[in-house]
Structure 1
Amino acid sequence: MPQTAEQEGRGRRAVAVIGAGPAGLMAAEALAGRGITVTVYDAMPSPARKFLMAGRGGLNITHSEPLDRFLTRYGAAAPVVAPWIRRFTPDDLRAWVHGLGIETFVGSSGRVFPVGLKASPLLRAWLRRLDGLGVTLKARHRWTGWTDDGALAFDTPEGPLVVAADATLLALGGASWPRLGSDGGWAPLLAAKGIDLAPFRAANAGFDVAWSPAFIERAEGQPLKRIALSFAGQTSRGEAVVTRTGLEGGALYALGAPLREVIARDGQAVLRIDLKPDLDLAAITARLAKAPPSESLKNRLRKALGLEGVVPALLREGVPPADLATPAALAQRLKALPITLTAIRPMDRAISTAGGITLTELDDHLMLRRLPGVFAVGEMLDWEAPTGGYLLQACFSGALAAAEGMAVSWPSSVQTENAY
């Protein structure tokens, strides 16, 4: 027989939050602060595992650029995402982190980090706050859908569990990093309820390039710093890294969505790299013209332009020496080096995913139109953004929008036990 948990907080409104990542925990905090009984369920042994993993390389919580530019980072989803972020802005997020006793700073790239760069101190302070608000966290509770009478069903170490709640917030993540809990296993449960789902697709991932074996041996792991990448009328400045299979890095991720879609349609996409974006073509040509023709390509690039490392080998990759023989020809390649991308890396190698619940399935409060009383937030939804703090910001902001939506729509969002 399955265990049955009576509706917690009898006499008080009770919400089940399924998923203990940043979006789920933020919604739980906002709901508990309104006097609502909140229980957070998660399949993993401990909360926020992907959040902690993100912090290993320096937790980038948001970005300091002007808000109007910030909002463009969400592409086609910007009209939906923008109201969440205008309601809870990057400055608001920084103030929230400061309220946990963690200071923040703005890096040279404009990205915002907690002092110390780690996620674990922030998470510990956050969990203490949630505990003080009366939020209950239940680990190793894997959601398996709904029972025939509309209750929530879970698999637990003690066996099946059935839970009744006045409303449910789903915050189960996308389909990247399955070992940390984001495996997309919830998709069939919602599809069975008639929810429209876009296929999962890798986002913030590297791309494949057919490098020659000699180039891989020489260049694997080498960075390309202070570059500009261009594709389909968009330009992204930053850095990238040469990998055995191709290229990856923040500058590339910012163009990931259009590159991915063109490759899916055409089988390839031609990216152009500006290896010296702070100088125009004429200035580069003039500097190269001053170098003695007898000098090696490596020395000409280093002396005239300060370009070293992997750049000479990259310029030569698949190019006849004659195409680099004159200052004008060399300058042209430096300003618009074509690189043919043949595939995006698999989802299990991606930082995040696109796809999931289509945004038209949600009302203005992030409630599923076909499942009254059920709200969804975070990477479960079909939006994407590049790295740089944009992913976390939208998860936090969207979670608060959903929590507020629950509060204002409560009478209509609370359904009978047969609602599903």
Structure 2
Amino acid sequence: MTDTRESVDALVIGGGPAGLMAADALLSAGRKVLLTEQKPSLARKFLMAGKSGLNLTKAEDVETCLAAYGEAAPCLRPMIEALPPEAVATWAEGLGQPVFAGSTGRVFPEAMKASPLLRAWLARLAGLGLETRTRWSWSGWDGDLARFETPDGECRIAPRVTVLACGGASWARLGSDGHWTGPVGDLGAPVAPFTPANAGLRVEWSPHMEPHLGSPLKNIGLRAGALASRGEVVISERGLEGGGLYPLSPALREGAPLELDLAPDVEVQMLEARLRKGPAKDSASNRLRKAARLPPAARALVMECARPLTREPEALASLLKALSVPHRGLAPLDEAISVAGGLRWDGLTEGLELAARPGTFAAGEMLDWEAPTGGYLLTACLATGLWAGRHAALHDG
């Protein structure tokens, strides 16, 4: 087996948005950068996320943005302040990709897809001198050397400074497999276990629901524990999924019950009055259709979760405003859009340097933070990548 060794100025491990932004910061500071990626091409998860429309960030002020990160907000504050949502939009436009904000404030490139932005970014980085090596799988350290399994055998790199941007542990087929926790954990660096975030909810449906699989429940209210959201979910074969559900991940992960408000724009008293006006002999399905004005999928869900259905208007109105959906918890980790857990903040310096290994920095979903979808995930990956790269650039080695 070939075993080669070489020295480099700056090493970035991981070719997703955080790693590319760290490389950008290092190159912009005049450092020479080698970036390695275990997959055959860069930014695979980024490209997959952009297939249905690349949500770059959210058009809102820093304080509103930070609130989306929950307990991690104080730790992320300096990074988000250094690259706030408006700066993310400006960055994309600087790469020749105009952006626009949708009705909910979500910011997208006009091209919608991730590929044009990625091509422009990689062209910029190549112009700055970035060297990339794909199919290089990092396997840890041997003293000062970073070890890689490559198509040509084992290679060892002696970097003056390193940035780890190895991702979380969701979508392993795209490169975020969490294997880095082994060598990093061996250092004694504290790592919080990975758990799913922005994940579907597992519900065991009866055959009654089969005609409605794939149907959306639009503009509903959702609550789990102390968390609430409003949006759309889809009834899937395995349960429920969708943007309205994802902000509730922290509470659902802890086993909180899920409640749905199927008529969020109608006060309970008005809903009760509608139900009282309906013919007393109407079937349960007709009452839900005519008086409550629920679409077919919502009616089916009520019958699935609340049979036998009460005929008393007050009780039925209250039920429709807080329908309890029995569930079996979040979907498995590798089916989640993102994760909670990772390198704990108490093992990092303010510059995102590992206290257990000076000269090694970390960024992106490796860090212990989570956020709902809506541009927050990519914003934090870019912001922490920029922050780690800038601080790594100051390291002399």
The equivalent residue for 1:418 is none
Moved more, 338-347 or 15-24: 338-347
Q: 1:300: how far off?
A: 4.0
The equivalent residue for 1:223 is 216
**1:342 pairs with 2:328:** yes
Q: 1:329: how far off?
A: 2.2
**1:103 pairs with 2:90:** no
The equivalent residue for 2:375 is 389
1:1-400 pair list within 5 angstroms: 1-7=2-8, 14-148=9-143, 150-215=144-209, 217-261=210-254, 263=255, 269-323=256-310, 325-400=311-386
Q: 1:308: how far off?
A: 0.7
Question: Residues 94-119 of structure 1, C-alpha deviation per residue, up to 9 Å, x if partnerless?
Answer: 00001111111112222111112100
Whole-angstrom distance in 2 between the partners of 1:257 and 1:66: 24
Q: 1:218: how far off?
A: 2.7
Is this contact kept in 2: 1:229–1:237, CA < 8 A? Answer: yes
TM-score, scaled relative to structure 2: 0.95
Whole-angstrom distance in 2 between the partners of 1:289 and 1:58: 44
Q: Which amino acid aligns with 2:325?
A: I
Other structure's SS at 1:6 match: strand
Amino-acid identity (%): 48
Whole-angstrom distance in 2 between the partners of 1:228 and 1:132: 49
Whole-angstrom distance in 1 between the partners of 2:226 and 2:198: 19
Is this contact kept in 2: 1:4–1:161, CA < 8 A? Answer: yes
Question: Residues 336-365 of structure 1, C-alpha deviation per residue, up to 9 Å, x if partnerless?
Answer: 111122221111211112222111110000
Task: Specify every segment of 5 or more residues in structure 2 that has no aligned partner in the other structure, as ranges.
Answer: none
Q: 1:121: how far off?
A: 0.6
Whole-angstrom distance in 2 between the partners of 1:348 and 1:308: 33
Is this contact kept in 2: 1:301–1:307, CA < 8 A? Answer: yes
Whole-angstrom distance in 2 between the partners of 1:17 and 1:220: 43
Question: Residues 193-244 of structure 1, C-alpha deviation per residue, up to 9 Å, x if partnerless?
Answer: 11111111111111112322322x1322111110111122221111111122
Whole-angstrom distance in 2 between the partners of 1:45 and 1:397: 25
Question: Residues 265-318 of structure 1, C-alpha deviation per residue, up to 9 Å, x if partnerless?
Answer: xxxx31111111122111222233333334444444444454213111111114
Question: Residues 56-80 of structure 1, C-alpha deviation per residue, up to 9 Å, x if partnerless?
Answer: 1211111123432221111111111
Whole-angstrom distance in 1 between the partners of 2:86 and 2:314: 46
Number of paired residues? 396
Q: Which amino acid aligns with 1:373?
A: G
Whole-angstrom distance in 2 between the partners of 1:224 and 1:110: 22
Other structure's SS at 1:57 match: coil
Q: 1:382: how far off?
A: 1.3
Is this contact kept in 1: 2:208–2:304, CA < 8 A? Answer: no
Q: 1:183: how far off?
A: 0.7
Other structure's SS at 1:5 match: strand
Whole-angstrom distance in 1 between the partners of 2:358 and 2:27: 21
Q: 1:20: how far off?
A: 0.3
Question: Residues 177-198 of structure 1, C-alpha deviation per residue, up to 9 Å, x if partnerless?
Answer: 1111111111111111111111
Q: 1:33: how far off?
A: 0.8
Question: Residues 17-61 of structure 1, C-alpha deviation per residue, up to 9 Å, x if partnerless?
Answer: 000000000111111011111111111111000100101121111
Q: Which amino acid aligns with 1:282?
A: Q
Is this contact kept in 2: 1:43–1:141, CA < 8 A? Answer: yes
Is this contact kept in 2: 1:297–1:312, CA < 8 A? Answer: no
Q: 1:5: how far off?
A: 1.9
Q: Which amino acid aligns with 2:201?
A: F
